[in-house]
Chain A
Amino acid sequence: MTGQTFKPVTAAEIVEKTKQYAKDGYRLIQIHCTKTPQEMFIIYTFEKIDLSCENLKMDVQVGDTVPSISGVFFGAVLYENEIHDLYGVNFSDLAVDFKGTFYETSVKQAFAQTGADNKE
């Protein structure tokens, strides 16, 4: 299965790297955040028309501000607002900023709390 490598990227590099992927014929197909008791990161996945894909992985913390890539791929708006509402990561220069109203969750930043206490 292709697309199983996760290349490290920093917040300072993400916009330029995304522009390079766009120039190389890739498109954005997803962004998601993961938080475990040990680490927290965002994964960006880019795909070409031949179905090859690549992932970028950025370490973040709750409350960090990361540059939005919605200026390169507009579709990023939805993923970035989702991550903001569920994980409490902020994005600067969002093309459309829902300001925390994208998901009407009863618990704010619900996914930023890990369930480690519930495990065996």
Chain B
Amino acid sequence: MGERTIIPFGPQHPVLPEPLHLDLILEDEKVVGAVPSIGFVHRGLEKLVEKRDFHEMVYVIERVCGICSFIHGQGYCQTVEGLMGIEIPERAKYLRTIWAELSRVHSHILWLGLMADAYGFESLFMHCWRVREKVLDIFEETTGGRVIFSVCRVGGVWKDIDNDTLKRIVTVLKDVEKEIKELSDVFIKDYTVQKRTRGVGVLTYQEAIDLGAVGPTLRGSGVPMDMRKLGYAAYGELDFEPIVEKDGDCYARTLVRVREVFQSLDLIYQAVNKIPDGEIATKVRGNPPAGEFISRLEQPRGQVIYYAKGNGTKYLDRFRVRTPTFANIAPLLKMLPGSDLADVPILALTIDPCISCTER
């Protein structure tokens, strides 16, 4: 056994712009253990539910994260609607699905860019983020925002997208699809990428289940779980199967995200073809009743869980968000032992950590 050394990784690190700290226990260059620390910037946003009424709270919950802000707003609204027994119009369900899948596309492309940056492939990083701008332009055109959209409301959505605009969006996305196909070849076929990711940070099928892994981290280990299969929003009307890779290593998690970009684009095309005409919101009367409700949705990083407890007033007693990154920290601790110190930045990136979500 070599001499043991503890190397601090983060909370400030070039590949992690957000504060996640790991105490890496090393024997020579090999990681044999890791202890995480989070909570450097915990904001206590959930607590604000006691001071913001249930209509206003959606704008707080959107700000849990700047990358998956829309799905946080959607999840909040869906949970409160469940608590109040509100059925939203069909068109609103489709619009939510389209914005949610656009969020997944831009999040995964953002992540691919960050991975390219971690490999040292700076041109690839810039190309990924250049393509992502086209998706952000769609958000700006349809919602008025590029990061925070404020289009979800309890009872539906605030804004419609007319059918001509939807067709134009599909044309833009066909360009995005073509460009991502070209870029994804590097992530799939490049020798250096494979050398850095194949066989690194393996999480087995059973470990992924037992440790509570979610999203591409779970599906990269062969587990076909995707919360969209619950059929919320318009997903019950769309044809798709969870994207699964079996090897459980960094390469498998990369492949899942690459393939999910194309799956999300396909889901948007399907939704645009099927979206019905009609109202985009239903009138909400009264306050959330006494009771509780749990929702599970699929964020780009994996399953997110929302819990709401009402008391009959306009303030909820409790709103809880269990974010995907929080769930993926325990699996990360399992993946790290056995890897080389040099692999740690890329390995940590493959859970796509979002500390903004975690420090809600």
- Check B313 against A1 for contact (C-beta < 8 Å): no
Chain B positions within 8 Å of A30 at CB level: 305, 322, 327
Interface string of B278-298 (1 = CB under 8 A from A): 000000000000001111100
Residue of B nearest to A27 (CB): B209
- Check B230 against A1 for contact (C-beta < 8 Å): yes
Residue of B nearest to A34 (CB): B318
- Check A4 against B294 for contact (C-beta < 8 Å): yes
Asked if A34 meets B294 with Cβ closer than 8 Å, knowing A102-B38, A104-B40, the reply is no
- Check B317 against A51 for contact (C-beta < 8 Å): no
A71 to B313, CA, bound (A): 40
Asked if A49 meets B315 with Cβ closer than 8 Å, knowing A29-B327, A85-B39, the reply is no
Query: A11-19, A58-66, A73-81: which lies at the B interface?
Result: A73-81
Residue of A nearest to B44 (CB): A110
Asked if A29 meets B303 with Cβ closer than 8 Å, knowing A110-B47, A115-B50, the reply is yes
Complex interface residues of chain A between 1 and 27 (CB less than 8 A to chain B): 1-4, 6, 27
- Count chain B residues whose beta carbon lies closer than 8 angstroms to a beta carbon of A: 46
Contact of B210 among A3, A73, A78 (CB under 8 A): A73
- Count chain A residues whose beta carbon lies closer than 8 angstroms to a beta carbon of B: 40
Interface string of B218-255 (1 = CB under 8 A from A): 00000111010110100000000000000000000000
Q: Is the interface of B mostly helix, strand, loop or mixed?
A: mixed
Complex interface residues of chain B between 300 and 335 (CB less than 8 A to chain A): 303, 305, 307, 309, 311, 313-315, 317-318, 320, 322, 326-327, 329-331
- Check A29 against B322 for contact (C-beta < 8 Å): yes
A98 to B212, CA, bound (A): 20
Complex interface residues of chain A between 91 and 108 (CB less than 8 A to chain B): 96, 98, 101-105
* Chain A interface residues (CB < 8 Å from chain B): 1-4, 6, 27-30, 32, 34-36, 43, 45, 49, 51, 53, 55, 73-75, 77-78, 85, 96, 98, 101-105, 110-111, 114-116, 118-120
14 new A-B contacts at CB < 8 Å, known A111-B44, A111-B46: A28-B212, A30-B322, A45-B294, A45-B305, A51-B225, A51-B227, A55-B294, A73-B210, A101-B37, A102-B39, A105-B42, A115-B51, A116-B50, A119-B315
